[in-house]
């Protein structure tokens, strides 16, 4: 089955002159990342299938544009990146963290619109889900198994509301385990019915605070969000993590207005991590995997369960049966268990809404 890929690409140029010097950041950053990994320009060039001369030319052109070095060569010690080069790699990662879920959703939409113009288009499973690393892994496994899926990333409340309206076949959302579980589950009861829906367990994952490496601000709990020297980065309204943060603040009797940065919002856990890694905020709430991937210190707060809600009558349909079988497969469970902070012991288990929410 064919797929559409939409990838962000940005260029760096001198001033506003279209005819001025320009650098393709995608190629340059791939080279810089390879140098960072290998510690040598020649080895990095080979890993990318380039000649040393071509790689060196890319570096010198970019250094001429910036007026600053990107690679620092040490005698007998290989090559290291300058702070500017490291910042370029970070910028690329932040672009990906911010835009990738949106572009994946758009690519899926385009695929299915094009498929509808072809004779006998395959029936695609419609998946609306809160973005998560286990969901991303599922999409990779669905693609490898040639199972068509129409993906739309949206927040947890939007996803289950879409399911209730018949706009999707699976809705991804998450519920904290423990003292906030009942309050969070009750909010989803607006759309999920015991007789109409079932819940498929995807994973258990750790939620906590993201802080800069080594925790230089000495942040220990949600109470520290009220400190005037602490900058917070939030998630959008309607997201499960935003709801969880609100519940935890209410427990600490902290007003949202006391949190510096409460009105800011990043779409994904990875985007929150990238924002903090850049130094633009000091703390955020998210899953452990994102903190690890951006080199942040993670302070665990609680664990939560990620579910897919599905129509009960659709459980015996071929598309849903195939997805549930894939969820239960050793390959997929291993992929989930390999994610930092994730557990896959019950992945693929089907529950009633009451069983999921009233343990």
Report DSSP letters for 231-274, one per residue.
Answer: -EE---TT-HHHHHHHHHHHHTT--GGGSTTTT---SSHHHHHH
Per the CB < 8 A criterion, the answer to whether 197 and 309 are in contact is: yes
**Going by CATH, does the domain composed of 1-121 fall within 1.10.10.10?**
yes
DSSP code for 124: P
Rounded CA separation 125/320 (Å) = 8
* Bridge pairing between strands 197-211 and 350-352: antiparallel
Question: Is the alpha carbon torsion for 153, 157, 351, 206 positive or negative?
Answer: positive
Residue 313 has a pLDDT of: 93
Rounded CA separation 239/114 (Å) = 30
Task: List average pLDDT for each run of 10 residues in the chain, which is 359 residues long.
Answer: 72 64 80 88 89 89 87 75 87 78 73 67 80 91 88 90 94 95 93 95 97 95 94 92 93 91 90 90 96 94 96 91 95 96 96 89
Distances in Å between the alpha carbon of 306 and those of 61, 147, 174, 256, 278? Answer: 47, 22, 4, 26, 28
Residue 290 has a pLDDT of: 93
Residue 243 has a pLDDT of: 93
**Going by CATH, does the domain composed of 123-357 fall within 3.40.50.620?**
no
Q: Provide CB contacts within 8 A for 213, sequence distance 6+.
A: 295, 296, 297
Residue 295 has a pLDDT of: 92
Q: What is the reported pTM?
A: 0.76
Residue 109 has a pLDDT of: 72
Q: Residue 233: left if φ>0, alpha if ψ -120 to 50, beta else—which one? A: beta
Q: Provide CB contacts within 8 A for 197, sequence distance 6+.
A: 163, 309, 310, 311, 312, 353
Biggest alpha carbon–alpha carbon distance for the chain: 71
Domain limits of the chain? 1-121, 123-357
CA–centroid distance for 336 within its chain: 14
Residue 74 has a pLDDT of: 66
300 CB neighbour count, 10 Å cutoff: 12
In the chain, beta strands by DSSP E: 11-13, 22-24, 71-74, 78-81, 125-129, 149-153, 170-176, 197-211, 232-233, 283-287, 297-311, 342-343, 350-352
């Amino acid at each position: 089955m064919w797929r559409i890929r939409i990838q962000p690409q940005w260029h760096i140029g001198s001033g506003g002159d279209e005819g001025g010097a320009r650098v393709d950041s995608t190629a340059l950053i791939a080279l810089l990342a390879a140098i960072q990994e290998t510690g040598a320009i020649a080895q990095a060039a080979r890993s990318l299938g380039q000649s040393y001369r071509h790689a060196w030319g890319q570096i010198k052109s970019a250094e001429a544009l910036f007026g600053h070095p990107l690679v620092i060569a040490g005698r007998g010690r290989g090559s290291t990146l300058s702070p500017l080069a490291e910042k370029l790699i970070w910028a690329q990662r932040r672009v990906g963290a911010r835009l990738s879920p949106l572009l994946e959703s758009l690519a899926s939409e385009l695929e299915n619109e094009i498929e509808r113009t072809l004779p006998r288009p395959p029936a695609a499973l419609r998946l609306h889900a809160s973005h998560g690393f286990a969901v991303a892994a599922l999409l990779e496994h669905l693609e490898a198994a040639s199972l068509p899926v129409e993906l739309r990333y949206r927040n947890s409340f939007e996803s289950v509301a879409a399911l209730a309206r018949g706009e999707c076949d699976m809705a991804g959302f998450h519920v904290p385990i423990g003292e906030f579980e009942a309050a969070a589950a009750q909010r989803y009861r607006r759309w999920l019915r015991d007789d109409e829906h079932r819940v498929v367990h995807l994973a258990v994952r750790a939620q906590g605070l993201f802080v800069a490496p080594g925790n230089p601000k000495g942040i220990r709990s949600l109470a520290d969000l009220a400190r005037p020297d602490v900058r917070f980065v939030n998630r959008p309204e309607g997201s499960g993590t935003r709801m969880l943060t609100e519940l935890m603040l209410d427990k600490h009797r902290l007003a949202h207005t006391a949190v510096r940065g409460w009105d800011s919002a990043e779409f994904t856990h990875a985007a929150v991590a990238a924002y903090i890694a850049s130094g633009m905020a000091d703390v955020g709430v998210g899953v452990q995997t994102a903190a690890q991937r951006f080199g942040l210190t993670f302070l665990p707060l609680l664990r939560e369960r990620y579910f897919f809600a599905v129509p009960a009558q659709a459980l015996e349909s071929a598309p849903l049966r195939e997805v549930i079988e894939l969820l239960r497969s050793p390959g997929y469970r291993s992929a989930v268990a390999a994610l930092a902070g994730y557990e896959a012991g019950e992945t693929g288990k089907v529950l009633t809404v009451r069983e999921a929410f009233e343990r």
